[in-house]
Amino acid sequence: MTNVATGAGTATTGAQIISEDDVVRVEDLRLSFYTTLGVVRALNGVSFNIPRGKVLGVVGESGCGKSQTGLSIMQLTPGRIEGGRILFREFNTSEEIDIVKLDKNGPEMRKIRGNHISMIFQEPMTSLNPCYTVGHQIEEAILLHQTQDKAEARRRAVDILRKVGMPNPERIADSYPHQLSGGMRQRAMIAMALSCTPTLLIADEPTTALDVTTEAQILDLMRELQHEIGTSIMFITHNMGVVAQMCDEVAVMYLGRIIERAAVDDMFYDPKHPYTISLLRSIPRLGVARGQKLESIKGTVPDPYSTVPGCPFHPRCPAAIPGLCDTVMPDEVFVAGSRTHTVRCHLYT
């Protein structure tokens, strides 16, 4: 029951895992959408860090803000960042840049995008421009950040296509996206994202749209390249199986907040937050009798225009403490005896 306040933390972030070796540290990030129907508070103080060379899984139900967190780091979110910091440190530098302070379309931000931080999206079928060849689209990033020499850019594009396991990379480079299958397009996207050896790769459900075999291949590939290049990955998914296979650490999000954060093993074997526990129960498992109903989390996510008082999970929480959970927002605290496992729940304070 330790409550460790960090210098950077604000009232709502109690615990922060401090590491000298983080590539990115997000602190109390708040993001809103001003729509005609009202204000959507999509992120309500998200804090986490991604250690160098590690894969952090970010999981949570649809709409909890996973994609918007990733897009905020790229400064590509259509919403308005209302507060917080996103501290980024590129390879071999000690200097931290606060991404939130950079101009969205300014040269500093553009130098980071695609070069130091790159992103892969969920839909491989639509994430490449149908009007240009795959090679051209990869070369575009290389020409922008790495070299002015077109022949060299071409050579590097073909190289990286070979690296992501494309058969006949020269031919693929001259193909248009519609000539490739979904799996090949996702490989091409990975090639594009890794073409400038980024410090951080944000992968937003990169395999959700693929079949299981292709998914396994793509995951293997990402893991392999991650080891080779040393890139840190923020891996967004809602598939716990994928988390087990890919990630070193996991952060669980609920309604625009991170409610639990731990190493993969701790999360799977010793989940603390009631939401995480039910999330893990809802995964189908081998050996469980066929026909037995999977447990689903009761209730639904509240509508995005309203704010819930107290712990945002309390309307659905089986362990909610009346009088406390529905009025007081729990702080993020370390789980007893751990320096890496944090949770945001009154049961542990």
Partner 1 sequence: MLNFIARRLVNMFFLLIVVSFVGFWIIQLPPGSILDVQIQRLRMQGGNLPESMIQALRDRYGVDDPFYIQYWKWISRSLQGDFGTSFETDQKVAERIYNRLGISFGLSLTALLFTWLVAIPIGVYSATHRYTWPDYIITFVQFLGLSIPGFLLALVLLIMASRLWDQPIGGLFSPQYADAPWSLAKLWDFIRHVWIAVVVLAIGATAGLTRVMRANLLDVLNMQYIQTARAKGLKESTVIWKHAVRNAIHPLVMSLGTLLPALVVGETLIAIILSLPTIGPLYLDALRSQDMYLAGTILVMLSALLLIGNLIADLLLAWVDPRVRLE
Name which position in 61, 123, 152, 326 contacts partner 1 (CB under 8 A).
123
Rule CB under 8 A: say whether 293 interacts with partner 1: no
**Of these partners, Mg ion, ligand SF4, ligand ATP, none, which one is at the site of residue 68 (CB under 5 to 8 Å by kind)?**
ligand ATP
Per CB under 6 A, 33 contacts ligand ATP: yes
DSSP character for 336?
T
Among 2, 3, 19, 35, binds ligand ATP (CB under 6 A): 35
Which residues, including other chains, have CB under 8 Å from residue 266's CB and lie 6 or more apart?
A: 338, 340, 341
Enumerate binding residues for ligand SF4 (CB under 6 A).
273-274, 311, 313-314, 317, 319-321, 325, 330, 345-347
- Give Cα 260 to chain centroid, integer Å: 14
In the three-class reduction of DSSP (H, G, I as helix; E, B as strand; rest coil), residue 219 is classed as helix
Residue 62: CB minimum distance to Mg ion, A: 7
52 residue type, one letter: R
29 binds, among ligand SF4, partner 1, Mg ion, none (CB under 5 to 8 A by kind): none
Q: What angle do CA 57, 62, 68 make, to 5 degrees?
A: 65
What is the separation of C-alpha 29 from the centre of its chain, rounded to a whole number of angstroms? 14
What 324-333 contacts at long range (C-beta under 8 Å, 24+ apart), as own/partner pairs, is 329/12, 331/3, 331/12, 331/13, 331/14, 331/15, 332/12, 332/13, 332/14, 332/15, 332/16, 332/47, 332/258, 333/1, 333/2, 333/3, 333/4, 333/14, 333/15
- Two tokens, residue 49: 């860090």
State which of residues 53, 63, 241, 302 lies at the interface with ligand ATP (CB under 6 A): 63
Does position 66 interact with ligand ATP (CB under 6 A)? The reply is yes
- The rounded distance, in Å, linking the Cα atoms of 345 and 280 is 17
Q: Which of 23, 26, 40, 160 binds ligand ATP (CB under 6 A)?
A: 40
Among partner 1, ligand ATP, ligand SF4, none, partner that 346 touches (CB below 5 to 8 angstroms by kind): ligand SF4
Tell whether residue 59 is a contact of ligand ATP (CB under 6 A): no
Between strands 249-254 and 257-263, the pairing is antiparallel
Residue 75 or residue 214: which is nearer to partner 1 going by CB? Answer: 75
Mark residues 238-277: x for contact with ligand ATP by CB under 6 A, - for none.
Answer: x---------------------------------------
DSSP-derived letter for residue 215 is: H
Sheet holding 117-120, edge to edge: 117-120, 200-204, 232-236, 55-59, 249-254, 257-263, 342-343, 333-334
In angstroms, give the least distance from the CB of 156 to ligand SF4: 49
Q: Which does 115 bind (CB under 5 to 8 A by kind): Mg ion, ligand SF4, partner 1, none?
A: partner 1
Closest approach, Cβ 242 to ligand ATP, in A, equals: 13
Token pair 């995005």: residue: 304
Q: Kindly tell me which of 201 and 255 has the beta carbon lying closer to partner 1.
A: 201
Considering only 15, 42, 188, 243, the residue that binds ligand ATP (CB under 6 A) is 42
In the complex, which residues of this chain contact partner 1 (CB under 8 A)? 74, 76, 105, 110-115, 118-119, 121, 123, 126-131, 133, 137, 140-141, 144-145, 176, 178-179, 189, 192
